[in-house]
């Protein structure tokens, strides 16, 4: 069963990857990915909001779909909320499977879902003001391939 964590606190990517790998008994492949706040165009911070309970249920459902579809032996999704500065890690996905293709595809699927459909709301803060991040057609296109 996938581990889902929605948290305000930072996480140690290397430590999380090592712990995930240690628990991935029988896996022939492990894929990890971390999303980071980009310092685009004078961004001073990003604020991420979510509805507790609803968010975890949605992430659990999509992780369960990935586990079934790619016969994963494990999955981890960590996503932060609150105020994050450029360079901070926003999220992490890890997948474990018997074969590398399944681990890569499942991780890619989870990342596409997190980018386009996960119930998080993001606001970019800049010196000149703040704007909510709108969905991008390219993110929807990436998700539609699944």
**pLDDT tens across 56-91, in order?**
999 999 999 999 999 999 999 999 999 999 999 999
Q: How many CB atoms lie within 10 A of CB 130?
A: 12
Q: In CATH, which superfamily holds the domain spanning 3-143?
A: Molybdopterin biosynthesis MoaE subunit (3.90.1170.40)
Kindly state the helix (H) or strand (E) to which residue 65 belongs, with its residue range. Answer: helix 54-69
Using a cut of 0.85, tell me whether the model's pTM lies above it.
yes
Give the integer Cα–Cα distance in Å for 10 and 141. Answer: 30
Averaged pLDDT, 39-46: 89
């Amino acid at each position: 069963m996938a581990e889902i964590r929605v948290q305000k606190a930072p996480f140690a990517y290397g430590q999380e990857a090592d712990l995930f790998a240690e628990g991935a008994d029988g896996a022939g492949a492990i894929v990890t990915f971390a999303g980071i706040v980009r310092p685009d165009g004078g961004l001073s911070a990003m604020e991420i909001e979510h509805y507790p309970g609803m968010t975890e249920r949605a992430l659990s459902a999509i992780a369960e779909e990935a586990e079934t579809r790619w016969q994963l032996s494990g999955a981890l999704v960590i996503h932060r909320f609150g105020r994050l500065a450029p360079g901070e890690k926003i999220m992490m996905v890890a997948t474990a499977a018997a074969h590398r293709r399944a681990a890569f595809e499942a991780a890619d699927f989870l990342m596409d879902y997190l980018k386009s459909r996960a119930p998080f709301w993001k606001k970019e803060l800049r010196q000149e003001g703040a704007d909510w991040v709108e969905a991008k057609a390219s993110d929807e296109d990436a998700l539609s391939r699944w």
